[in-house]
């Protein structure tokens, strides 16, 4: 499944002089962005989908709105490796 979160951080607002709809951040910058601590109460085990890097994306909009998307895999205990 995909997890999508959206929140506003006015510290990241920018003046849109180049007419960008949004800016996609480099994965190297993800650790520098504050993100809400999301958890799913009923999960027993889960993992983020990874190939060579985590399958996630962060967009920043001119008003400081941040949209986070990630592919998430909920595994049963029998499926764990």
Q: What is the mean pLDDT of the chain?
A: 79
Angstrom CA distances, 56 to 1, 27, 34, 42, 50, stand at 12, 8, 15, 23, 9
Whole-model pTM? 0.71
Neighbours of 33 (CB within 10 A): 13
At 8-47, the pLDDT tens digits run 999 999 998 888 899 999 888 888 989 888 776 766 655 5
Q: For the structural domain made of 2-79, what CATH number should be given?
A: 2.70.170.10
Q: Compute CA 9 distance to the chain's CA centroid, rounded to the nearest angstrom.
A: 14
Domains of the chain, by residue range, sit at: 2-79
Which three-class secondary structure state does DSSP give residue 57? strand
């Amino acid at each position: 499944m995909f997890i999508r979160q959206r929140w506003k951080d006015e510290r990241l607002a920018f003046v849109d002089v180049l007419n960008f709809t949004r800016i996609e951040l480099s994965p190297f910058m993800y650790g520098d962005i504050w993100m809400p601590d999301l958890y799913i109460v009923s999960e027993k085990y889960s993992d983020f989908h990874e190939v060579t890097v985590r399958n996630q994306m962060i967009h920043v909009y001119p008003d400081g709105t941040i949209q986070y998307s990630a592919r998430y895999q909920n595994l049963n205990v029998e499926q764990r490796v």
